[in-house]
């Protein structure tokens, strides 16, 4: 939704992903990229809840989740122009969120 709103205002925006762990749960986290001042910035529109500070800043990246490499977390550095097609396909083909997430993470 944020990418659509930014694009409506003629601000280049795209989609970014992280593979994170919350406890022992492996999660695919989506965020946005926005092009400002000749540079891409990643931002997280999820809001600040429960001690998470993801306020947007051009001085330092403030994402909701920090990658914990010791647990195989991955911070995918790309800004995609549209959602990854495999993710959309999986979300359309699975009735259970758990099944969809497991399939997405298996492919990444």
pLDDT tens-digit series, residues 11-57: 999 999 988 887 777 788 889 999 999 999 998 887 677 777 787 87
What is each CA distance from 86 to 29, 35, 60, 92, 108, in whole angstroms?
15, 25, 31, 10, 10
Q: Is the pLDDT of residue 88 over 80?
A: yes
More confident residue, 85 or 57: 85
User: What is the residue extent of each domain of the chain?
Assistant: 2-80
State if pTM tops 0.85.
Answer: no
pLDDT in tens, 59-81: 888 787 777 666 678 888 899 99
């Amino acid at each position: 939704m944020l990418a659509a709103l930014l694009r409506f205002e003629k601000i280049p925006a795209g989609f970014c992903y992280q593979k994170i762990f919350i406890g022992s749960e492996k999660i695919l986290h989506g965020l946005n990229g926005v092009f400002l001042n000749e540079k891409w910035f990643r931002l997280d529109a999820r809001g600040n809840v429960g001690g998470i500070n993801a306020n947007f800043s051009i001085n330092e990246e403030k994402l909701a989740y920090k990658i914990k490499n010791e647990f195989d977390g991955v911070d995918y550095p790309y800004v995609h122009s549209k959602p990854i097609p495999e993710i959309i396909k999986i979300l359309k083909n699975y009735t259970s969120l758990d099944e969809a997430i497991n399939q997405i993470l298996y492919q990444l």
